[in-house]
Chains A and B, each alone.
Chain A
Amino acid sequence: MLTKTPLLNETDISASTGGERMSRADKEFKIVVRNLSFYYGKIQALKDVSLDIQANKVTAIIGPSGCGKSTFIRILNRMNDIIPGVRVEGKVMIDSQNIYDGNVGAVEIRRRVGMVFQKSNPFPKSIFENVAYGLRISGLIKKSSDLGERVRRALVDAVLWDEVKDRLNASAFKLSGGQQQRLCIARALVIEPEVILFDEPCSALDPTSTAKVEELIQNLKDKYTIVIVTHNMQQAARVSDYTAFLMLGELIEFNKTNKMFTTPSEKVTEDYITGRFG
Protein backbone atom coordinates (compact mmCIF):
# COMPACT_ATOMS: atom_id res chain seq x y z
CA MET A 1 0.00 0.00 0.00
CA LEU A 2 1.25 3.40 -0.86
CA THR A 3 -1.01 5.19 1.56
CA LYS A 4 -3.33 4.45 4.38
CA THR A 5 -6.66 3.15 3.18
CA PRO A 6 -7.75 6.15 1.16
CA LEU A 7 -11.24 7.32 1.88
CA LEU A 8 -13.30 10.33 1.13
CA ASN A 9 -11.76 13.24 2.92
CA GLU A 10 -13.48 16.21 1.44
CA THR A 11 -16.98 15.50 2.46
CA ASP A 12 -18.52 16.62 5.66
CA ILE A 13 -18.78 13.00 6.59
CA SER A 14 -16.28 11.49 8.89
CA ALA A 15 -14.89 8.55 7.03
CA SER A 16 -14.72 5.28 8.80
CA THR A 17 -11.41 3.52 8.75
CA GLY A 18 -12.55 0.06 9.78
CA GLY A 19 -15.48 -1.98 8.60
CA GLU A 20 -16.78 -2.48 12.08
CA ARG A 21 -17.22 1.14 13.10
CA MET A 22 -20.50 2.43 11.80
CA SER A 23 -20.62 6.18 11.76
CA ARG A 24 -23.76 8.26 11.53
CA ALA A 25 -23.07 8.88 7.90
CA ASP A 26 -22.67 5.30 6.74
CA LYS A 27 -26.34 5.29 5.82
CA GLU A 28 -25.66 7.72 3.01
CA PHE A 29 -23.15 5.36 1.50
CA LYS A 30 -24.88 2.97 -0.83
CA ILE A 31 -21.93 0.66 -1.10
CA VAL A 32 -19.23 0.17 1.49
CA VAL A 33 -16.21 -1.89 0.50
CA ARG A 34 -13.87 -3.06 3.23
CA ASN A 35 -10.50 -4.82 2.90
CA LEU A 36 -11.47 -6.38 -0.39
CA SER A 37 -9.01 -8.80 -1.96
CA PHE A 38 -9.72 -10.87 -5.01
CA TYR A 39 -7.94 -13.86 -6.49
CA TYR A 40 -8.09 -15.63 -9.86
CA GLY A 41 -6.71 -18.94 -8.70
CA LYS A 42 -3.34 -17.99 -7.23
CA ILE A 43 -3.15 -14.61 -8.90
CA GLN A 44 -4.23 -11.71 -6.71
CA ALA A 45 -6.11 -9.13 -8.76
CA LEU A 46 -7.20 -6.78 -5.96
CA LYS A 47 -5.32 -6.02 -2.77
CA ASP A 48 -7.08 -4.85 0.34
CA VAL A 49 -9.32 -2.26 -1.28
CA SER A 50 -11.59 -0.19 0.94
CA LEU A 51 -13.84 2.52 -0.40
CA ASP A 52 -17.28 4.04 0.08
CA ILE A 53 -19.67 4.80 -2.75
CA GLN A 54 -22.31 7.48 -2.22
CA ALA A 55 -25.91 7.09 -3.16
CA ASN A 56 -27.17 9.09 -6.17
CA LYS A 57 -23.70 10.04 -7.27
CA VAL A 58 -21.51 8.88 -10.11
CA THR A 59 -18.32 7.21 -8.99
CA ALA A 60 -15.67 6.59 -11.64
CA ILE A 61 -12.99 3.92 -11.41
CA ILE A 62 -9.89 4.73 -13.43
CA GLY A 63 -6.47 3.20 -13.83
CA PRO A 64 -4.13 1.63 -16.37
CA SER A 65 -5.28 -1.58 -18.05
CA GLY A 66 -4.83 -4.63 -15.88
CA CYS A 67 -5.20 -2.56 -12.72
CA GLY A 68 -8.25 -4.51 -11.62
CA LYS A 69 -10.93 -1.94 -12.33
CA SER A 70 -13.13 -4.31 -14.30
CA THR A 71 -12.57 -7.00 -11.69
CA PHE A 72 -13.62 -4.52 -9.02
CA ILE A 73 -16.84 -3.48 -10.67
CA ARG A 74 -17.79 -7.09 -11.40
CA ILE A 75 -17.43 -7.88 -7.73
CA LEU A 76 -20.18 -5.37 -6.91
CA ASN A 77 -22.85 -7.50 -8.65
CA ARG A 78 -21.16 -10.85 -8.08
CA MET A 79 -20.56 -11.25 -11.80
CA ASN A 80 -17.21 -12.89 -11.10
CA ASP A 81 -19.07 -15.81 -9.55
CA ILE A 82 -19.40 -17.20 -13.09
CA ILE A 83 -15.65 -17.68 -13.39
CA PRO A 84 -14.43 -20.91 -11.80
CA GLY A 85 -11.61 -20.77 -9.28
CA VAL A 86 -12.01 -17.23 -8.02
CA ARG A 87 -11.94 -16.13 -4.38
CA VAL A 88 -13.16 -13.01 -2.61
CA GLU A 89 -11.92 -11.77 0.75
CA GLY A 90 -13.26 -8.82 2.71
CA LYS A 91 -16.66 -7.22 2.72
CA VAL A 92 -18.88 -5.56 0.16
CA MET A 93 -21.85 -3.98 1.92
CA ILE A 94 -24.84 -2.70 0.02
CA ASP A 95 -27.22 -0.94 2.43
CA SER A 96 -25.22 -2.55 5.25
CA GLN A 97 -25.80 -6.08 3.94
CA ASN A 98 -22.66 -7.99 2.99
CA ILE A 99 -23.40 -9.30 -0.50
CA TYR A 100 -20.85 -12.09 -0.05
CA ASP A 101 -22.60 -13.49 3.02
CA GLY A 102 -23.43 -17.13 2.66
CA ASN A 103 -27.16 -16.60 2.78
CA VAL A 104 -27.26 -13.95 0.07
CA GLY A 105 -27.99 -15.16 -3.48
CA ALA A 106 -26.09 -13.80 -6.46
CA VAL A 107 -29.33 -13.62 -8.44
CA GLU A 108 -30.95 -11.27 -5.90
CA ILE A 109 -27.86 -9.08 -5.84
CA ARG A 110 -27.84 -8.79 -9.61
CA ARG A 111 -31.45 -7.66 -9.56
CA ARG A 112 -30.47 -4.84 -7.23
CA VAL A 113 -27.21 -4.03 -9.02
CA GLY A 114 -27.60 -3.71 -12.78
CA MET A 115 -24.76 -3.73 -15.28
CA VAL A 116 -23.95 -2.30 -18.69
CA PHE A 117 -21.05 -3.86 -20.53
CA GLN A 118 -18.11 -2.60 -22.53
CA LYS A 119 -19.39 -3.91 -25.83
CA SER A 120 -23.11 -3.57 -26.31
CA ASN A 121 -24.49 -7.08 -26.02
CA PRO A 122 -28.17 -7.18 -26.92
CA PHE A 123 -29.71 -10.63 -27.10
CA PRO A 124 -30.63 -11.99 -30.54
CA LYS A 125 -34.23 -10.99 -29.86
CA SER A 126 -36.49 -8.10 -30.74
CA ILE A 127 -35.99 -4.65 -29.22
CA PHE A 128 -39.03 -5.15 -27.02
CA GLU A 129 -38.01 -8.61 -25.85
CA ASN A 130 -34.51 -7.43 -24.99
CA VAL A 131 -35.90 -4.95 -22.51
CA ALA A 132 -38.73 -7.19 -21.31
CA TYR A 133 -36.35 -10.08 -20.60
CA GLY A 134 -35.44 -9.06 -17.06
CA LEU A 135 -39.11 -8.64 -16.15
CA ARG A 136 -40.18 -11.89 -17.74
CA ILE A 137 -37.64 -14.01 -15.90
CA SER A 138 -38.41 -12.30 -12.61
CA GLY A 139 -41.96 -13.58 -12.90
CA LEU A 140 -43.21 -10.44 -11.18
CA ILE A 141 -45.18 -9.02 -14.06
CA LYS A 142 -48.43 -10.83 -14.65
CA LYS A 143 -50.33 -8.54 -17.02
CA SER A 144 -48.91 -7.92 -20.47
CA SER A 145 -50.12 -4.31 -20.44
CA ASP A 146 -47.98 -3.71 -17.36
CA LEU A 147 -45.06 -5.27 -19.17
CA GLY A 148 -45.53 -2.95 -22.14
CA GLU A 149 -45.70 0.09 -19.89
CA ARG A 150 -42.57 -0.87 -17.95
CA VAL A 151 -40.66 -1.48 -21.18
CA ARG A 152 -41.81 1.86 -22.56
CA ARG A 153 -40.72 3.69 -19.42
CA ALA A 154 -37.29 2.05 -19.47
CA LEU A 155 -36.83 2.99 -23.11
CA VAL A 156 -37.90 6.56 -22.34
CA ASP A 157 -35.45 6.71 -19.44
CA ALA A 158 -32.72 5.41 -21.70
CA VAL A 159 -33.62 8.13 -24.26
CA LEU A 160 -34.26 5.52 -26.92
CA TRP A 161 -38.05 5.46 -27.05
CA ASP A 162 -38.51 8.03 -29.81
CA GLU A 163 -36.05 6.23 -32.05
CA VAL A 164 -37.56 2.76 -31.67
CA LYS A 165 -41.23 3.17 -30.76
CA ASP A 166 -42.35 2.27 -34.29
CA ARG A 167 -40.27 -0.86 -34.57
CA LEU A 168 -40.28 -2.55 -31.20
CA ASN A 169 -40.51 -5.94 -32.85
CA ALA A 170 -37.48 -5.42 -35.06
CA SER A 171 -34.31 -7.28 -34.20
CA ALA A 172 -32.06 -5.49 -31.76
CA PHE A 173 -29.18 -6.05 -34.16
CA LYS A 174 -30.81 -3.60 -36.59
CA LEU A 175 -29.93 -0.73 -34.25
CA SER A 176 -26.74 1.31 -34.52
CA GLY A 177 -23.93 0.73 -32.03
CA GLY A 178 -24.92 3.69 -29.89
CA GLN A 179 -28.58 2.70 -29.95
CA GLN A 180 -27.67 -0.86 -28.99
CA GLN A 181 -25.76 0.42 -25.98
CA ARG A 182 -28.73 2.54 -24.90
CA LEU A 183 -30.94 -0.52 -25.39
CA CYS A 184 -28.65 -2.39 -23.00
CA ILE A 185 -29.05 0.48 -20.55
CA ALA A 186 -32.84 0.22 -20.88
CA ARG A 187 -32.56 -3.50 -20.29
CA ALA A 188 -30.71 -2.78 -17.05
CA LEU A 189 -33.16 -0.02 -16.00
CA VAL A 190 -36.36 -1.96 -16.50
CA ILE A 191 -35.94 -4.11 -13.42
CA GLU A 192 -35.44 -0.95 -11.36
CA PRO A 193 -32.12 -1.74 -9.72
CA GLU A 194 -30.66 0.47 -7.01
CA VAL A 195 -27.17 0.61 -8.44
CA ILE A 196 -26.04 0.55 -12.08
CA LEU A 197 -22.53 -0.46 -13.03
CA PHE A 198 -21.05 0.72 -16.31
CA ASP A 199 -18.03 -1.20 -17.52
CA GLU A 200 -16.36 1.07 -20.08
CA PRO A 201 -19.73 1.69 -21.74
CA CYS A 202 -18.44 3.98 -24.47
CA SER A 203 -15.21 2.32 -25.52
CA ALA A 204 -16.78 0.99 -28.71
CA LEU A 205 -18.83 4.08 -29.55
CA ASP A 206 -18.31 7.11 -31.78
CA PRO A 207 -18.08 10.57 -30.15
CA THR A 208 -21.73 11.51 -30.82
CA SER A 209 -23.06 8.31 -29.29
CA THR A 210 -20.61 8.68 -26.42
CA ALA A 211 -21.96 12.16 -25.65
CA LYS A 212 -25.51 10.78 -25.58
CA VAL A 213 -24.59 7.98 -23.21
CA GLU A 214 -22.68 10.35 -20.94
CA GLU A 215 -25.64 12.73 -20.77
CA LEU A 216 -27.86 9.78 -19.98
CA ILE A 217 -25.59 8.70 -17.13
CA GLN A 218 -25.79 12.22 -15.69
CA ASN A 219 -29.58 12.09 -15.76
CA LEU A 220 -29.77 8.65 -14.24
CA LYS A 221 -28.02 9.55 -11.01
CA ASP A 222 -31.17 11.17 -9.65
CA LYS A 223 -32.67 7.74 -9.37
CA TYR A 224 -29.69 5.44 -9.17
CA THR A 225 -26.27 5.06 -7.66
CA ILE A 226 -23.79 4.78 -10.50
CA VAL A 227 -20.33 3.26 -10.73
CA ILE A 228 -18.49 3.59 -14.02
CA VAL A 229 -15.21 2.06 -15.11
CA THR A 230 -13.43 4.00 -17.80
CA HIS A 231 -9.98 4.23 -19.30
CA ASN A 232 -10.86 7.64 -20.65
CA MET A 233 -9.76 10.30 -18.19
CA GLN A 234 -11.79 13.07 -19.80
CA GLN A 235 -14.87 10.94 -19.52
CA ALA A 236 -14.27 10.36 -15.83
CA ALA A 237 -13.82 14.11 -15.37
CA ARG A 238 -17.00 14.86 -17.32
CA VAL A 239 -19.44 12.42 -15.79
CA SER A 240 -18.33 11.56 -12.28
CA ASP A 241 -18.64 13.12 -8.85
CA TYR A 242 -16.01 10.89 -7.26
CA THR A 243 -13.07 9.12 -8.76
CA ALA A 244 -11.07 6.14 -7.56
CA PHE A 245 -7.66 5.46 -9.03
CA LEU A 246 -6.52 1.85 -9.05
CA MET A 247 -3.11 0.56 -9.98
CA LEU A 248 -1.86 -3.03 -9.93
CA GLY A 249 -4.83 -4.08 -7.84
CA GLU A 250 -4.37 -1.41 -5.20
CA LEU A 251 -6.49 1.64 -4.55
CA ILE A 252 -4.07 4.55 -4.82
CA GLU A 253 -6.40 7.46 -4.34
CA PHE A 254 -10.09 8.11 -3.91
CA ASN A 255 -11.38 11.64 -4.02
CA LYS A 256 -13.89 14.10 -5.35
CA THR A 257 -13.46 14.18 -9.09
CA ASN A 258 -12.59 17.86 -9.44
CA LYS A 259 -10.09 17.61 -6.61
CA MET A 260 -8.56 14.50 -8.16
CA PHE A 261 -8.16 16.13 -11.55
CA THR A 262 -6.80 19.42 -10.24
CA THR A 263 -4.75 18.67 -7.15
CA PRO A 264 -4.29 14.95 -6.68
CA SER A 265 -2.65 14.04 -3.40
CA GLU A 266 -0.53 11.23 -4.83
CA LYS A 267 2.34 11.69 -7.24
CA VAL A 268 1.37 8.49 -9.14
CA THR A 269 -2.15 9.77 -9.64
CA GLU A 270 -0.84 12.96 -11.08
CA ASP A 271 1.52 11.08 -13.37
CA TYR A 272 -1.32 8.93 -14.61
CA ILE A 273 -3.83 11.71 -15.05
CA THR A 274 -1.41 13.92 -16.91
CA GLY A 275 -0.62 11.04 -19.20
CA ARG A 276 2.92 10.37 -18.12
CA PHE A 277 2.21 6.68 -18.26
CA GLY A 278 -0.61 4.22 -18.91
Chain B
Amino acid sequence: MLKEWIIEKSLIVAAMVSFVIIAFIIMIVFRAGVPLIAEVGVGNFLFGMDWRPEREIFGIFPMIIGTLLVALFSMLISVPLGILTAIFLAEVAPEIMRNILRPAIELLAGIPSVVYGFVGLMVLVPFIRTHLGPPGFSILAGSIVLAIMALPTIITISEDAIKAVPKSYKEASFAVGATHWQTIKNIILPAARSGILAGVVLGSGRAIGETMAAIMVLGNLPVIPTSVLGPIRTLTANVAMEMAYAPHGPHRQALFATGVVLFIVVSILVVISNRLRRGQ
Protein backbone atom coordinates (compact mmCIF):
# COMPACT_ATOMS: atom_id res chain seq x y z
CA MET B 1 0.00 0.00 0.00
CA LEU B 2 3.05 2.22 0.16
CA LYS B 3 2.87 2.57 -3.60
CA GLU B 4 -0.75 3.77 -3.41
CA TRP B 5 0.25 6.29 -0.75
CA ILE B 6 3.13 7.64 -2.80
CA ILE B 7 0.93 7.98 -5.89
CA GLU B 8 -1.78 9.82 -4.03
CA LYS B 9 0.70 12.24 -2.52
CA SER B 10 2.35 12.97 -5.85
CA LEU B 11 -1.06 13.60 -7.40
CA ILE B 12 -1.78 16.14 -4.66
CA VAL B 13 1.50 17.84 -5.48
CA ALA B 14 0.57 17.96 -9.17
CA ALA B 15 -2.80 19.42 -8.28
CA MET B 16 -1.16 22.07 -6.13
CA VAL B 17 1.09 23.29 -8.95
CA SER B 18 -1.42 25.71 -10.47
CA PHE B 19 -1.94 27.29 -7.11
CA VAL B 20 1.80 27.47 -6.53
CA ILE B 21 2.22 29.22 -9.89
CA ILE B 22 -0.36 31.84 -8.95
CA ALA B 23 1.43 32.36 -5.64
CA PHE B 24 4.78 32.69 -7.43
CA ILE B 25 3.38 35.15 -9.96
CA ILE B 26 1.99 37.32 -7.21
CA MET B 27 5.17 37.11 -5.18
CA ILE B 28 7.57 37.84 -8.01
CA VAL B 29 5.62 40.46 -9.92
CA PHE B 30 4.53 42.25 -6.78
CA ARG B 31 8.00 42.17 -5.25
CA ALA B 32 9.42 43.79 -8.32
CA GLY B 33 6.65 46.32 -8.75
CA VAL B 34 5.21 47.31 -5.38
CA PRO B 35 8.34 49.08 -4.01
CA LEU B 36 8.23 51.53 -6.90
CA ILE B 37 4.54 52.23 -6.34
CA ALA B 38 5.34 52.85 -2.68
CA GLU B 39 8.18 55.17 -3.59
CA VAL B 40 6.24 57.17 -6.17
CA GLY B 41 3.05 57.06 -4.13
CA VAL B 42 -0.09 55.16 -5.04
CA GLY B 43 -1.92 58.35 -6.02
CA ASN B 44 0.91 59.67 -8.15
CA PHE B 45 1.34 56.34 -9.89
CA LEU B 46 -2.31 55.64 -10.59
CA PHE B 47 -3.41 59.19 -11.32
CA GLY B 48 -0.21 60.72 -12.68
CA MET B 49 -0.72 62.17 -16.13
CA ASP B 50 2.86 61.84 -17.34
CA TRP B 51 4.82 58.76 -18.29
CA ARG B 52 8.43 59.85 -18.83
CA PRO B 53 10.62 56.98 -17.81
CA GLU B 54 13.81 58.74 -18.89
CA ARG B 55 13.14 61.40 -16.24
CA GLU B 56 11.75 58.83 -13.81
CA ILE B 57 8.25 60.22 -13.91
CA PHE B 58 5.82 57.32 -13.78
CA GLY B 59 2.13 58.12 -14.06
CA ILE B 60 -0.13 55.54 -15.69
CA PHE B 61 -3.45 57.36 -15.60
CA PRO B 62 -3.66 57.84 -19.39
CA MET B 63 -3.05 54.11 -19.84
CA ILE B 64 -5.69 53.17 -17.29
CA ILE B 65 -8.16 55.39 -19.12
CA GLY B 66 -7.04 53.99 -22.46
CA THR B 67 -7.39 50.41 -21.29
CA LEU B 68 -10.84 50.98 -19.86
CA LEU B 69 -12.03 52.90 -22.92
CA VAL B 70 -10.96 50.22 -25.37
CA ALA B 71 -12.48 47.52 -23.18
CA LEU B 72 -15.73 49.50 -22.93
CA PHE B 73 -16.00 50.19 -26.65
CA SER B 74 -15.13 46.64 -27.59
CA MET B 75 -17.86 45.40 -25.24
CA LEU B 76 -20.34 47.76 -26.89
CA ILE B 77 -19.74 45.81 -30.08
CA SER B 78 -19.26 42.29 -28.83
CA VAL B 79 -21.89 42.08 -26.08
CA PRO B 80 -24.95 42.52 -28.30
CA LEU B 81 -23.46 40.46 -31.10
CA GLY B 82 -22.31 37.75 -28.71
CA ILE B 83 -25.52 37.47 -26.71
CA LEU B 84 -27.67 37.39 -29.85
CA THR B 85 -25.52 34.63 -31.27
CA ALA B 86 -25.69 32.72 -28.00
CA ILE B 87 -29.49 32.95 -28.09
CA PHE B 88 -29.45 31.82 -31.70
CA LEU B 89 -27.29 28.81 -30.86
CA ALA B 90 -29.22 27.78 -27.76
CA GLU B 91 -32.76 28.41 -28.94
CA VAL B 92 -33.27 29.07 -32.61
CA ALA B 93 -30.54 27.60 -34.79
CA PRO B 94 -31.37 24.59 -36.93
CA GLU B 95 -29.06 21.64 -36.38
CA ILE B 96 -27.02 22.38 -39.49
CA MET B 97 -26.32 26.00 -38.50
CA ARG B 98 -25.28 24.84 -35.06
CA ASN B 99 -22.85 22.38 -36.62
CA ILE B 100 -21.31 25.19 -38.64
CA LEU B 101 -21.31 27.92 -36.00
CA ARG B 102 -19.87 25.98 -33.06
CA PRO B 103 -16.63 24.98 -34.83
CA ALA B 104 -16.46 28.49 -36.30
CA ILE B 105 -16.55 30.00 -32.83
CA GLU B 106 -13.93 27.54 -31.60
CA LEU B 107 -11.75 28.55 -34.52
CA LEU B 108 -12.30 32.21 -33.69
CA ALA B 109 -11.15 31.43 -30.15
CA GLY B 110 -8.11 29.53 -31.38
CA ILE B 111 -6.68 32.06 -33.82
CA PRO B 112 -3.61 33.61 -32.16
CA SER B 113 -3.96 37.19 -30.99
CA VAL B 114 -0.97 38.23 -33.06
CA VAL B 115 -2.87 37.20 -36.19
CA TYR B 116 -5.84 39.35 -35.16
CA GLY B 117 -3.47 42.23 -34.53
CA PHE B 118 -1.83 41.66 -37.89
CA VAL B 119 -5.14 41.67 -39.79
CA GLY B 120 -6.20 44.79 -37.88
CA LEU B 121 -2.92 46.45 -38.80
CA MET B 122 -3.22 45.50 -42.46
CA VAL B 123 -6.93 46.21 -42.93
CA LEU B 124 -8.53 48.34 -40.23
CA VAL B 125 -5.74 50.82 -39.58
CA PRO B 126 -5.27 51.85 -43.24
CA PHE B 127 -9.04 51.89 -43.75
CA ILE B 128 -9.62 54.21 -40.83
CA ARG B 129 -6.66 56.37 -41.84
CA THR B 130 -7.95 56.97 -45.36
CA HIS B 131 -11.69 57.07 -44.75
CA LEU B 132 -12.12 58.53 -41.28
CA GLY B 133 -8.87 60.38 -40.76
CA PRO B 134 -5.31 59.78 -39.55
CA PRO B 135 -3.51 58.23 -37.84
CA GLY B 136 -5.61 55.06 -38.23
CA PHE B 137 -4.01 53.61 -35.12
CA SER B 138 -6.97 54.32 -32.91
CA ILE B 139 -9.40 53.34 -30.18
CA LEU B 140 -11.82 52.46 -32.95
CA ALA B 141 -9.46 49.97 -34.59
CA GLY B 142 -8.55 48.44 -31.24
CA SER B 143 -12.15 48.17 -30.11
CA ILE B 144 -13.17 46.31 -33.24
CA VAL B 145 -10.29 43.85 -33.04
CA LEU B 146 -10.73 43.22 -29.30
CA ALA B 147 -14.49 42.87 -29.77
CA ILE B 148 -13.97 40.06 -32.25
CA MET B 149 -11.50 38.41 -29.91
CA ALA B 150 -13.88 38.60 -26.93
CA LEU B 151 -16.79 37.10 -28.88
CA PRO B 152 -16.03 33.40 -28.27
CA THR B 153 -15.84 33.93 -24.49
CA ILE B 154 -19.12 35.83 -24.38
CA ILE B 155 -20.91 33.44 -26.71
CA THR B 156 -19.78 30.24 -25.01
CA ILE B 157 -20.53 31.33 -21.46
CA SER B 158 -23.85 32.97 -22.39
CA GLU B 159 -24.95 29.92 -24.34
CA ASP B 160 -24.19 27.70 -21.35
CA ALA B 161 -26.17 30.06 -19.12
CA ILE B 162 -29.16 30.05 -21.47
CA LYS B 163 -29.10 26.28 -21.75
CA ALA B 164 -29.00 25.97 -17.98
CA VAL B 165 -32.40 27.66 -17.65
CA PRO B 166 -34.85 24.92 -16.61
CA LYS B 167 -36.96 23.67 -19.49
CA SER B 168 -40.02 23.93 -17.28
CA TYR B 169 -39.87 27.76 -17.41
CA LYS B 170 -39.97 27.63 -21.16
CA GLU B 171 -42.86 25.19 -21.19
CA ALA B 172 -44.84 27.24 -18.70
CA SER B 173 -44.37 30.33 -20.83
CA PHE B 174 -45.42 28.54 -24.01
CA ALA B 175 -48.42 27.10 -22.18
CA VAL B 176 -49.89 30.55 -21.54
CA GLY B 177 -49.58 31.43 -25.20
CA ALA B 178 -46.25 33.25 -25.31
CA THR B 179 -44.39 33.27 -28.61
CA HIS B 180 -40.86 31.91 -28.71
CA TRP B 181 -39.34 35.37 -28.71
CA GLN B 182 -41.56 36.56 -25.85
CA THR B 183 -40.40 33.52 -23.90
CA ILE B 184 -36.76 34.25 -24.66
CA LYS B 185 -37.05 37.92 -23.78
CA ASN B 186 -39.24 37.71 -20.69
CA ILE B 187 -38.32 34.38 -19.15
CA ILE B 188 -35.12 32.82 -20.47
CA LEU B 189 -32.87 35.87 -20.61
CA PRO B 190 -33.83 37.16 -17.14
CA ALA B 191 -33.25 33.69 -15.72
CA ALA B 192 -29.86 33.43 -17.44
CA ARG B 193 -28.91 36.99 -16.54
CA SER B 194 -26.17 36.34 -14.02
CA GLY B 195 -24.54 33.70 -16.22
CA ILE B 196 -24.57 36.01 -19.22
CA LEU B 197 -23.16 38.79 -17.08
CA ALA B 198 -20.38 36.42 -16.03
CA GLY B 199 -19.53 35.97 -19.71
CA VAL B 200 -19.49 39.70 -20.28
CA VAL B 201 -17.27 40.31 -17.26
CA LEU B 202 -14.85 37.59 -18.34
CA GLY B 203 -14.93 38.96 -21.89
CA SER B 204 -13.97 42.42 -20.67
CA GLY B 205 -11.22 40.81 -18.62
CA ARG B 206 -9.91 39.29 -21.85
CA ALA B 207 -10.08 42.65 -23.59
CA ILE B 208 -8.25 44.38 -20.75
CA GLY B 209 -5.58 41.68 -20.61
CA GLU B 210 -5.00 41.39 -24.35
CA THR B 211 -1.56 42.48 -25.44
CA MET B 212 -0.59 41.69 -29.01
CA ALA B 213 -3.67 42.90 -30.82
CA ALA B 214 -3.74 46.03 -28.67
CA ILE B 215 -0.11 46.86 -29.28
CA MET B 216 -0.45 46.45 -33.04
CA VAL B 217 -3.44 48.69 -33.75
CA LEU B 218 -3.77 51.18 -30.90
CA GLY B 219 -0.78 53.41 -31.66
CA ASN B 220 0.62 53.14 -28.12
CA LEU B 221 0.76 56.86 -27.28
CA PRO B 222 0.42 57.35 -23.51
CA VAL B 223 -2.07 60.21 -23.75
CA ILE B 224 -5.68 60.73 -22.77
CA PRO B 225 -7.60 60.42 -26.03
CA THR B 226 -9.88 63.12 -27.34
CA SER B 227 -11.66 61.05 -29.98
CA VAL B 228 -12.23 57.42 -30.91
CA LEU B 229 -9.93 58.05 -33.86
CA GLY B 230 -7.05 58.92 -31.57
CA PRO B 231 -4.31 56.54 -30.42
CA ILE B 232 -3.91 55.32 -26.87
CA ARG B 233 -1.66 52.96 -24.96
CA THR B 234 -3.02 50.14 -22.81
CA LEU B 235 -1.43 48.84 -19.62
CA THR B 236 -0.46 45.63 -21.40
CA ALA B 237 1.13 47.55 -24.26
CA ASN B 238 3.12 49.63 -21.79
CA VAL B 239 4.75 46.51 -20.41
CA ALA B 240 5.27 44.80 -23.76
CA MET B 241 6.64 47.87 -25.55
CA GLU B 242 9.21 48.95 -23.03
CA MET B 243 10.41 45.75 -21.40
CA ALA B 244 12.82 45.22 -24.28
CA TYR B 245 14.79 48.37 -23.61
CA ALA B 246 14.25 48.76 -19.89
CA PRO B 247 16.30 45.99 -18.41
CA HIS B 248 17.33 47.83 -15.26
CA GLY B 249 16.41 50.19 -12.48
CA PRO B 250 13.25 52.08 -11.71
CA HIS B 251 12.01 51.96 -15.31
CA ARG B 252 11.83 48.17 -15.19
CA GLN B 253 10.26 48.33 -11.75
CA ALA B 254 7.65 50.73 -13.10
CA LEU B 255 6.75 48.20 -15.78
CA PHE B 256 6.33 45.51 -13.15
CA ALA B 257 4.24 48.00 -11.21
CA THR B 258 2.06 48.41 -14.29
CA GLY B 259 1.76 44.62 -14.30
CA VAL B 260 0.66 44.70 -10.67
CA VAL B 261 -2.18 47.10 -11.47
CA LEU B 262 -3.21 44.98 -14.46
CA PHE B 263 -3.07 41.80 -12.42
CA ILE B 264 -5.27 43.25 -9.68
CA VAL B 265 -7.87 44.57 -12.13
CA VAL B 266 -8.10 41.31 -14.06
CA SER B 267 -8.17 39.21 -10.89
CA ILE B 268 -11.09 41.23 -9.56
CA LEU B 269 -12.95 40.56 -12.80
CA VAL B 270 -12.19 36.83 -12.60
CA VAL B 271 -13.58 36.71 -9.06
CA ILE B 272 -16.72 38.63 -10.03
CA SER B 273 -17.29 36.38 -13.03
CA ASN B 274 -16.79 33.32 -10.88
CA ARG B 275 -19.32 34.53 -8.30
CA LEU B 276 -21.85 35.40 -10.97
CA ARG B 277 -21.60 32.01 -12.57
CA ARG B 278 -22.06 30.23 -9.30
CA GLY B 279 -24.97 32.53 -8.48
CA GLN B 280 -27.08 31.26 -11.31
Contact = CB atoms under 8 A, between A and B. Distances in A.
A40 to B, nearest CB: 16
B174 interface: yes
A79 B175 contact: yes
A107 to B, nearest CB: 5
Interface in B165-220: 166, 168-179, 182, 186-187, 190-191
A82 B170 contact: yes
Given A110-B177, A114-B176, A137-B178, A79 B171 contact: yes
A39 B124 CA distance: 53
A244 interface: no
Interface string A116-149: 0101011111000000011011100000000000
A267 B174 CA distance: 39
Interface in B138-188: 166, 168-179, 182, 186-187
A116 to B, nearest CB: 8
B177 A121 contact: no
A188 B182 CA distance: 17
B181 to A, nearest CB: 10
A111 interface: yes
Contact of B187 (A110, A117, A123, A138): A123
A137 B184 CA distance: 12
Given A133-B186, A137-B182, A137-B186, A123 B177 contact: no
Interface majority SS (helix, strand, loop, mixed), chain B: helix
A176 B168 CA distance: 18
A77 B173 CA distance: 13
A40 B99 CA distance: 22
B170 A110 contact: no
Nearest to A112: B177
Instruction: Give the bracket for the number of chain A residues in contact with chain B.
Output: 20 to 34
Contact of B191 (A108, A124, A134): A124
A159 interface: no
Nearest to A111: B177
B169 A107 contact: no
A134 B176 contact: yes
Interface string A139-173: 00000000000000000000000000000000000
A115 interface: yes
A77 B174 CA distance: 10
Nearest to A190: B176
A183 to B, nearest CB: 11
A229 interface: no
B184 to A, nearest CB: 12
A169 to B, nearest CB: 16
A75 B95 CA distance: 24
A119 B177 contact: no
A187 B179 contact: no
Contact of A121 (B168, B178, B182, B186): B168
Contacts of B176: 110-111, 114, 133-134, 137, 187-188, 190-191
A184 interface: yes
Contact of B177 (A82, A117, A124, A134): A134
Contacts of A190: 176
Contacts of B171: 79, 82, 115, 117, 121
A124 to B, nearest CB: 6
Contact of B172 (A84, A108, A187): A187
Contact of A107 (B166, B170, B177, B186): B177
A117 B169 CA distance: 11
Given A123-B187, A137-B182, 18 more contacts: A79-B171, A82-B170, A106-B174, A107-B177, A110-B174, A110-B175, A111-B176, A111-B177, A121-B166, A121-B171, A122-B172, A123-B169, A123-B191, A124-B169, A133-B178, A136-B186, A187-B176, A191-B176
9 contacts: A79-B174, A84-B95, A121-B171, A123-B187, A124-B169, A133-B186, A137-B182, A138-B177, A191-B177
